[in-house]
Chain A
Amino acid sequence: MSAPKAQLGAIIVDDEQLARHAVRELLSVHPEIQILAECANGLEAVKAVTAHKPSLIFLDVQMPKLTGFDVLELIDTDAAVIFTTAFDQYAMRAFEVHAVDYLLKPIGRERFETALAHAKTRLEKNLPAPRAGELAASARPPQQFLERAVVKDGTRVTIIPIAKLDYVEAQDDYVALASGGKKHLKQQTIASLEACLDPNCFVKIHRSYIVNLERVTRIEPYAKDSKIAILSDGTRLPVSRSGYAKLQELLDQRPKS
């Protein structure tokens, strides 16, 4: 009696039905891969990952609301991810840099098999998944800053437009994003988040705090060599000496309102 062949569960994420069909067809010659779900958008994908725990994810980059990168940030999984994209030079470069498997549409059989074999090796050797935050950051076109942050509280996915972000607080390996009086935890370092934010709107005022300039109402002295920033909702944040210098420089450039 031979051992049953190991089954790999896969989900296909693409907002275009025909594109999902193309991947399904390419997988039809692989009986060892079982398609657990097809998802038409990122939100469905995040749910499907939680529900089905797939080993393999075919993930389109350009999708409404949540992009493929957002999805990767939101799912906490050891699954092998194969990105699919029609044309996105920045994403393609990011995939190359981070050695992430990706497929260009229309997808050819040969390329598909190579990527699939690669993904299987990755699973067997239990290689770590790509760092979602860094991948997303390097796929962003130059001079373009983060427009929204995606966070998951339990099973709920929240999209925070960057303009609604009040401040960011570092907490060990996490950052807490404060928006409208609520805090959302996200696994990312404060330094990598800072790199994605428009330096004219967000200032790192302290090694653990980044603040949205729009929210700062006044700055008060606190102790010798340290100050405190008071936000429009009354929140008080510590300001370091170098943070104060940066803050002052930016506030001086702005027209007084």
Chain B
Amino acid sequence: MHPLLARSRLSIYTVAWIPLSLFLGYLLHSAAHLTWLASIALAFPLCLVYQFMCLSAWYSCKSAPLGRTNAARLALTHASAAVLVSLLWVQLGKVLAFGLSRFTALRDLNSRYVTAIPVLFAAGFLLYLLAVAYYYVILSLEASREAQARVMESTVLARDAELKALKAQVNPHFLFNSLNSISALTSIDPAKAREMCILLAEFLRMTLGLGEKSSIPLGEELHLLERFLAIEKVRFGSRLEMRENIQAETKTALIPPLLLQPLIENAVTHGIANVLDGGVISLTARCTAERLTVAVENTCDPDASYVRRGGLGLANVRRRLEARYGNEADMRVAIEAGIFKVQLSLPLEIVSVPIAETLQEEAAR
């Protein structure tokens, strides 16, 4: 679609040609020595026609895009177009001059037109090239806007994909170890084996379900964590001890789903699992009027390196927080006296009706 053929733009375009018509009139008067009346009478109708002739430059610009056409071809295309259009215009001017010479005041215009030809030709040539330049500016603006939109789109897609991947992840190590525990329990304690099957099924179902949502109440995440830890407790026995300190008001606070799960999983796989005699995982949630603070602490092997303590999982949590809250959220990781501590602080958003939580709880039963 031609950028100037929309109705509102076309009138602005026409108005923009008025000063050009005046200037052409001035040129005809001063350079071709026509009378003021003759100059204006020629310039205005000619410019009115020429503005439409210049619209054709758009199509030659589109067919010879900058950067993809070599400079010689570009120059040749536009220069020859400019010559042709200007010659046509000069011819039109001649017809006009002949017509105008019927008026007594402009009687000698037809004979004096010859002096105006070089001026008109030069003006036509330059005006056409001006139009070409203008269209190239428009084309490159469009291209850059498109490129920008594409970049935006791809970053949004990438972030979405990443979040989806983060949400959908169930650690295969956890899954196979749990299955192994179930397999061992089937002969020792079939009832316990069944119980663990159910815990695992609930955990998987909740993980899949929560991944679909953009925010969930903290209480719901805690239900998920309970199941995760119940399963790990069967694996690790007395090596895993859990302490929870949850302020009741925080249970309705909204968080991105599965935000804490990787932290607890880290605490088990990179913390407790690496300590010979096991240890304690403690989960604390507090809130003030504006902020929610959640902390996960666990016993860890002081000799283990950052990667072994789950540095990669933590980086993912940090990225998710940044994507969602920008500078509003904060994550602190510290290690002190064999205790590994991760503390998240985010803006407090309270779910208006805590009904979702009760429904989820019932569904899980």
A→B interface (CB under 8 Å): 15-19, 21-22, 25, 41, 43, 62, 64-65, 86-88, 104-107, 144, 147-148, 159, 161
Contact with B183, one of A22, A43, A87 (Cβ below 8 angstroms): A22
B182 contacts across to A, CB distance below 8 A: 106
Q: Are B276 and A87 in contact (CB under 8 A)?
A: no
Q: Are A144 and B176 in contact (CB under 8 A)?
A: no
Q: Is the interface of B mostly helix, strand, loop or mixed?
A: helix
Query: Which residue of chain A has the shortest Cβ distance to B308 in the bound complex?
Result: A147
Indicate whether B155 reaches chain A with its CB closer than 8 angstroms: no
A107 contacts across to B, CB distance below 8 A: 180, 183
A147→B176 CA distance, assembly (Å): 26
CB contact under 8 A between A105 and B274, given known A16-B235, A18-B234: no
Contact with A86, one of B180, B236, B308 (Cβ below 8 angstroms): B180
CB-defined A-B contacts under 8 Å, sample of 5 = A18-B184, A18-B235, A106-B180, A106-B184, A107-B180
Q: Are A147 and B305 in contact (CB under 8 A)?
A: yes
A8→B13 CA distance, assembly (Å): 97
CB contact under 8 A between A21 and B308, given known A64-B275, A106-B176: no
Indicate whether B87 reaches chain A with its CB closer than 8 angstroms: no
Q: Are B307 and A144 in contact (CB under 8 A)?
A: yes
B308 contacts across to A, CB distance below 8 A: 147
Indicate whether B284 reaches chain A with its CB closer than 8 angstroms: no
Indicate whether B188 reaches chain A with its CB closer than 8 angstroms: yes
Q: Are B179 and A106 in contact (CB under 8 A)?
A: yes
A22 contacts across to B, CB distance below 8 A: 180, 183-184
- Nearest Cβ on chain B to A39's Cβ, whole angstroms: 12
- Nearest Cβ on chain B to A3's Cβ, whole angstroms: 33
- Nearest Cβ on chain B to A194's Cβ, whole angstroms: 19
CB contact under 8 A between A104 and B176, given known A25-B184, A41-B276: yes
Q: Are B276 and A106 in contact (CB under 8 A)?
A: no
Contact with A62, one of B183, B188, B236, B273 (Cβ below 8 angstroms): B273
- Nearest Cβ on chain A to B313's Cβ, whole angstroms: 14
- Nearest Cβ on chain A to B129's Cβ, whole angstroms: 55
Q: Are B180 and A65 in contact (CB under 8 A)?
A: no
A115→B273 CA distance, assembly (Å): 27
Q: Are A159 and B303 in contact (CB under 8 A)?
A: yes
Q: Are B176 and A105 in contact (CB under 8 A)?
A: yes
Query: Which residue of chain B has the shortest Cβ distance to A24 in the bound complex?
Result: B184
Indicate whether B114 reaches chain A with its CB closer than 8 angstroms: no
Would you list the 6 A-B pairs with minimal beta carbon distance, nearest first?
A: A106-B183, A105-B180, A86-B176, A22-B184, A18-B184, A106-B180
B173 contacts across to A, CB distance below 8 A: 62, 86-88
A18 contacts across to B, CB distance below 8 A: 180-181, 184-185, 188, 234-235
